Amino acid sequence: MVTNQYQTAQIKELDALHHLHPFTDHKSLRTGGARVIVRGEGPYIFDSEGHRILDGMAGLWTTNVGYGRKALAEAAYKQMLDLPYYNTFFRTTHPPVVALARKLAEIAPANLNQVFFGSSGSESNDTAIRLIRHYWVLKGEPQRRIIISRKNAYHGSTIAAGSMGGMAHVHAHSYPVYEGFRHIMDPYWYGEAKDGETPEAFGLRAARALEEEILAVGPENVAAFAGEPVQGAGGVKIAPETYWPEVQRIIDKYGILLLADEVITGFGRLGTWFASQHYGLKPHLMTFAKAVTSGYLPLSGVIVHDEIADTLMAHDDDFHHGYTFSGHPVACAVALKNLEIMEEERLVPRVKEFGAPSLAKMLAKFKDHPLVGEVRSIGLLGAIELVADKRTRRRFDNLGRVGLICRDHFFREGFIMRAVFDTMVMAPPLIWTKDQFDEAEAVIRRVLDLTLSDVAGEVAA
Ligand code: PMP
């Protein structure tokens, strides 16, 4: 294991020489160097200098059962000896992919029974986009190509998934954005509500933006609506309670498909297997990735409604789409073991019983802090918005600057929260006990005060 300074410096140097990181300012990375993470144990990660860090982000919304699970390593080892790889093209299959598909059908919402596998969330959304368009061609309505999603949505960073996402800075780098995507407002009450507008009224207004867009482009041209049940990378934006029922009503009214992107919200994050179950949604396609293996290996997929599967099966032509690693046997074996652990340890119901109320209670303690505009949480997803003036909701100049100051304090203090502009977000693993919540609370208090003293001159009294 790498533990001494010299090796750390060497790793940083080689990293700067040879490694292009995702979503990174490459110039600044090369002046500051990367942090070297060498080990994980339960809720903690350890860096190369021996610091123990509480991981408030479960890796990247991913390691739901925590680090260091021997059973997952053993499942991979055994499967590698039995069958490390085989493809699932050309009419072949293997036991782990079948068992996992069966298990996913069991825990998914009603009528979602068939799974197409990939290796990343982006891939699964690309698959979903192709399935949606192929479905409408097969139904004899090929003009239904438009997929409506939301501003600030994150669906991945391949060109198609990035185009379906609603992040302007992602679009800017993949120009030209694929045609056929429209982006409506996101259901972000704190940032978008009009003066005096209640969350309930705002939720209905945001949902009705979908109907307005459908009418604007012509209902006969709309293929689907895509949304993350809770916007994660966009800043843990939790729709008001009125939002999803109204969206579902509009989807039903116009007969379009619903793609629920459950890449973050799947596998227990809201205290149900999938957030669609929490919100009572009836998706036609549900994409998943990340926590299906708790991140121990890459695996993703789309679970589709019987209506879509039946339509595919009614036509004897290939669906020309697939990946070398669709249904990778080792990843599937690890996913099965991961889901088994979640069941044995009751990690999903435990989110409702313990994790969600603990997180909400902890965050509520910071809502009076001078830097904090709003705290919000649902299940094990939480956010703290930092603002310059909490009375008027005025942001800091140069959005994102204060978030980074705060994030760096967190890291130095041994805790990971991610900055989405000036919103600090967290998604702890499902295994946190009272000790971790207490530890997080103490660090957050320290870090908010440290950040406040750095920017005190900019904060309204
Ligand atoms: N969808 C959502 C909702 C996500 O949060 C992410 C990644 N954070 C993705 C898709 C893309 O997943 P990946 O990075 O595995 O491609």
Ligand 1 centroid – CA 162 distance (Å): 10
Rounded to the nearest angstrom, the gap between the alpha carbon of residue 375 and the centroid of all alpha carbons in its chain is 19
Asked if 109 and 273 touch (Cβ cutoff 8 Å), the reply is: no
Q: How far apart are CA 386 and CA 374, in angstroms?
A: 8
Find the Cα–Cα–Cα–Cα dihedral 112, 429, 167, 176, rounded to 10°.
Answer: -70
Pick from 192, 203, 231, 167: nearest CA to 427: 231
**Which residues, 6+ apart, have CB-to-CB distance to 361 below 8 Å?**
none
Q: pLDDT-based confidence at 4, cuts 50/70/90?
A: low
Question: Which of 117, 119, 263 maximizes ligand 1 atoms within 8 Å of its Cβ, making it the mutation to test the pocket?
Answer: 263
pLDDT tens, residue by residue, 22-50: 999 898 888 878 899 999 999 999 999 99
Ligand 1 centroid – CA 193 distance (Å): 27
Q: How far apart are CA 167 and CA 170, in angstroms?
A: 5
- DSSP codes of every residue in 259-297: EEE-TTTTTTTTSSSSHHHHHT---SEEEE-GGGTTTSS
Question: Which of 155, 174, 425 maximizes ligand 1 atoms within 8 Å of its Cβ, making it the mutation to test the pocket?
Answer: 155
Atom of ligand 1 nearest to the CA of 300: 15
| CB 154 near ligand 1, within 6 Å | yes
| CB 268 near ligand 1, within 6 Å | no
Which two tokens mark 128? 């979903």
- DSSP codes of every residue in 376-432: EEETTEEEEEE-SBTTTTBPPSSTTHHHHHHHHHHHHTTEE-EEETTEEEE---TT-
Q: How far apart are CA 76 and CA 287, in angstroms?
A: 23
Residue of the CA atom closest to atom 10 of ligand 1: 155
If one counts every other C-beta atom within 10 angstroms of the C-beta of residue 183, the result is 21
| CB 120 near ligand 1, within 6 Å | yes
Q: Is the pLDDT of residue 1 over 80?
A: no
Ligand 1 centroid – CA 391 distance (Å): 34
Q: pLDDT-based confidence at 171, cuts 50/70/90?
A: confident
Q: How far apart are CA 427 and CA 295, in angstroms?
A: 14
Pick from 121, 114, 115, 131: nearest CA to 224: 131
Pick from 48, 76, 54: nearest CA to 67: 54
Ligand 1 centroid – CA 21 distance (Å): 16
Asked if 119 and 288 touch (Cβ cutoff 8 Å), the reply is: no
Section 119-124 average pLDDT: 98
Q: How far is CA 91 from CA 179, 303, 326, 379, 434, in A?
A: 34, 20, 13, 41, 50
Question: Which of 154, 230, 265 maximizes ligand 1 atoms within 8 Å of its Cβ, making it the mutation to test the pocket?
Answer: 154
Q: Which amino acid type is present at position 72? A: L
Ligand 1 centroid – CA 389 distance (Å): 32
Q: Is the pLDDT of residue 3 over 80?
A: no
- Which residue's structure tokens are 């910071």? 366
pLDDT tens, residue by residue, 54-80: 999 999 999 999 999 999 999 999 999
pLDDT tens, residue by residue, 307-344: 999 999 999 888 999 999 999 999 999 999 999 999 99
Find the Cα–Cα–Cα–Cα dihedral 68, 73, 75, 78, rounded to 10°.
Answer: -160
| CB 248 near ligand 1, within 6 Å | no
Quick one: pLDDT at residue 36?
94
Question: Which of 264, 269, 287, 418 maximizes ligand 1 atoms within 8 Å of its Cβ, making it the mutation to test the pocket?
Answer: 264
**Which residues, 6+ apart, have CB-to-CB distance to 369 below 8 Å?**
448, 452
Pick from 145, 407, 147: nearest CA to 261: 147
Q: pLDDT-based confidence at 181, cuts 50/70/90?
A: very high
| CB 289 near ligand 1, within 6 Å | yes
Query: If you average pLDDT over every residue of the chain, what do you get?
Result: 96
Rounded to the nearest angstrom, the gap between the alpha carbon of residue 388 and the centroid of all alpha carbons in its chain is 28
Q: Is the pLDDT of residue 176 over 80?
A: no
pLDDT tens, residue by residue, 88-106: 999 999 999 999 999 999 9
Q: How far is CA 208 from CA 246, 250, 287, in A?
A: 7, 8, 24
Q: Which residues pair with 52 in a beta bridge?
A: 46
Quick one: pLDDT at residue 298?
98
Q: What percent of the chain stands above pLDDT 90?
A: 92
pLDDT tens, residue by residue, 201-239: 999 999 999 999 999 999 999 999 999 999 999 999 999
Q: What percent of the chain stands above pLDDT 70?
A: 98
Return the axis-axis angle of helices 401-412 and 434-455, rounded to nearest 10°. Answer: 130
> Is the CA virtual torsion 246, 249, 253, 258 positive or negative?
positive
Q: How far apart are CA 124 and CA 1, in angstroms?
A: 35
Pick from 126, 112, 163: nearest CA to 276: 112
Domains of the chain in start order, with CATH, are 35-65+346-458 (3.90.1150.10), 71-344 (3.40.640.10)
If one counts every other C-beta atom within 10 angstroms of the C-beta of residue 292, the result is 29
- Measured at the CA of 43, the angle between CA 55 and CA 426, to 5 degrees, comes to 35
Choice between 195 and 174, residue whose per-residue pLDDT is larger: 195
Atom of ligand 1 nearest to the CA of 120: 15
- Alpha helices (H) along 321-355: 329-344, 347-350
Question: Which of 122, 236, 238 maximizes ligand 1 atoms within 8 Å of its Cβ, making it the mutation to test the pocket?
Answer: 122
| CB 76 near ligand 1, within 6 Å | no
